[in-house]
Amino acid sequence: MPHPDAAPSEGGLPKAGRLPRRRRRFQAIRQAPLKLLVGAVLLTVLVAVAAAAPWIAPYGFEDMSILKRLKPPSAANWLGTDEFGRDVFSRMLMGARLSLMMGFAATAVSLVIGVPLGLWAGYRRGPVDEIIMRSTDVLLSFPPIMLGLLMLAVTPPSLWKLIIAVGIVYVPSTVRLTRSITLGLAGEEFVQAARARGEKTFYILHAEILPNAWPPIMVEASLRVTFAILLGAALSFIGLGAQPPSSDWGLMISEARPLLDRAPWVALAPGLAMGITVIAVNLLGDGLREALDPRTKRRGG
């Protein structure tokens, strides 16, 4: 029997070194939306820039110029040029397309495969659960980069294969998360009520359980976007992802590696871009989690 009067006393004991009450409350209300806002704005800018890259890039990303090889940042080339005299800034903008697509598409792949499997395993239990979970355990036992390598090494690399490979690498964690949420929800009385009126399993999974499982899955997925970008970059770096001369942050860093001592700006630019993306997505994910978590929501009424 939840007492409305008991709720505010949660978090109970007076904390040491507390701030004045007014200020702490101010922070509690402001924090979650602030993260969400900054993350969302940053990410929107990134996506917009990536989408508009061909039009806002000062040079074509493939335009070589032997005369301008390895020039440091200047007014003409804001972030310098690489060993073929290509404008690093333009290549970085174009690279955003591939990298962002990589991150989001791979996460989508992991959701499309992982969520249904997790729902099914968590709801049906028994042999179905065993088979699905043991298979994902096998996948989990490989280091992610090895698993990606395994899937890509045997066939000629291409972007869509990279996306699917990275997506599959993150299927096991999606399955595990979804399954554990489903396990809890399957015992809830509203699911029992749906069974009592003779609903099919498919309906129960997508109409009763999934809407309640979405918030944690989405938050987790938004954080996974960054991992997917990083893994994609790592695989491109090894040469199994985007192929030259196309532009991808991971590929750019890979190509710039031998030049690090002579022209550090070539690697720095995509590195920074990747860092900003990771921060943006993480802020968004964190903000989402705080905004969707009923425990933090209570404060906001």
Partner 1 sequence: MSDILLEIENLDLAYDTPRGTLKALDGVGMSIRAGETVAVVGESGSGKSTVALSVMGLLGSEATLSGSIRYQGRELVGMPAEARRLLRGRAIGMVFQDPFTSLNPSLTIGEQVSEPLVFHHGMDKRAALERSIAALGEVGLPDPAALVTVYPHQLSGGMQQRVLIATAIVCDPKVLILDEPTTALDVTVEAQILDLLDRLRRDRGLGMMFITHNLGVVNRIADTVCVLYAGRLIERGAKNAVLGAPAHPYTKGLLASLPKLSDAGRTRRIAPIPGRFPDLTEPPEGCVFADRCPFVEARCREPQALAAIDDGRLVRCWKSDDLPGWPEAAAVARRPGRSRSGTLLRTDRLTKVFRRGKIGGGIEWKRKFGVFPWPETRTEAVNAVDGISLEVGRGEVVGLVGESGSGKSTFGRTVLRLTNPTSGGITLDGDEIADKPEQELGSLRKRAQIVFQNPDSSLNSRRRVGDAIARAVSLHTNVPAHRRREHCEDLLDRVGLPRGYYDRYPHQLSGGEKQRVGIARAIATEPEFIVCDEPVSALDVSVQATVLNLLDDLRDELGLSYLFISHDLSVVAYIADRIAVMYSGRICEVGPTEAVLQPPYHPYTEALLSAVPLPTPGEEFGERVKLRGDRPPSASERTGCPFHTRCPRSLGALCETTPPPVIEPAPGHRIACHLDIGELNSLPPLQIPRTRKAS
Task: List residues binding partner 1 (CB under 8 A).
Answer: 1-6, 8-15, 18, 21, 24-25, 29, 188-190, 192-199, 207-208, 211-212, 299-301
Residue 248 gets the label, from left (phi > 0), alpha (psi -120 to 50) or beta, of beta
Closest to partner 1 by CB, 65 vs 180, is 180
In the complex, what is the shortest distance from the CB of residue 118 to partner 1, in angstroms, rounded to a whole number? 18
In the complex, what is the shortest distance from the CB of residue 189 to partner 1, in angstroms, rounded to a whole number? 4
Residue ranges of alpha helices (H) inside 63-154 are: 88-124, 126-140, 144-153
- 252-268 burial, b at 16+ Cβ within 10 Å, e below that, comes to bbbbbeeeeeebebbbb
Helices 171-186 & 210-238 angle (0-180, nearest 10) = 170
In the complex, what is the shortest distance from the CB of residue 137 to partner 1, in angstroms, rounded to a whole number? 15
Closest to partner 1 by CB, 186 vs 274, is 186
Closest to partner 1 by CB, 6 vs 67, is 6
Closest to partner 1 by CB, 71 vs 289, is 289
| Residue 62: closest CA among 45, 76, 82, 48 | 82
In the complex, what is the shortest distance from the CB of residue 71 to partner 1, in angstroms, rounded to a whole number? 57
Burial of 130 (0-12, 13-18, 19+ CB in 10 A): exposed
Closest to partner 1 by CB, 8 vs 156, is 8
Distance of CA 176 to the CA centre of its chain: 17
In the complex, what is the shortest distance from the CB of residue 301 to partner 1, in angstroms, rounded to a whole number? 4
SS3 244: coil
SS3 77: coil
